[in-house]
Amino acid sequence: MYRRNVSSGSPFETEIGFSRTVRLGPLIVVAGTAPIDASGGTACRGDVYGQTRRCLEIVAAAIAEAGGALENTIRTRILLTDISRWREAASAHGEVFGAIRPACTFLEVSRFIDPDWLVEIEADCAIV
């Protein structure tokens, strides 16, 4: 079965031993995606909505690079350090996925690798 690993260029990929995205046959899986800006820093510090938008931009690019299309996303997972702010993340998610409507789960976590990250997003997509 066809397998392709897609790198984000993160130094954590080699250290941890993971890929940003893996395509295995018709399935694309995007790992936990943090709100990293173009310079490698944290995007939109303190802003759950802005960080969610940035994560979704990275997810969309990863899916496309693996040969998929955002409209074939079948599941997302939104991980937040403060679940009381879920509506801010939901607003950004709804702007991107309102017509697509993948299965979606919101989870609270105690923290991420970088304390400035308020959200990470995972996604699964099918090639149809």
Please count the structural domains in the chain: 1
- Do residues 36 and 58 lie in contact, with contact meaning Cβ atoms separated by under 8 Å? yes
- At 81, which CATH number? 3.30.1330.40
- Do residues 46 and 110 lie in contact, with contact meaning Cβ atoms separated by under 8 Å? no
User: Cα(53)–Cα(49) distance, rounded to whole angstroms?
Assistant: 6
Domain that holds residue 64: 3-126
Interval 33-65: pLDDT, tens: 999 999 989 999 999 999 999 999 999 999 999
Interval 63-117: pLDDT, tens: 999 999 999 999 999 999 999 999 999 999 999 999 999 999 999 999 999 999 9
pLDDT on residue 94:
98
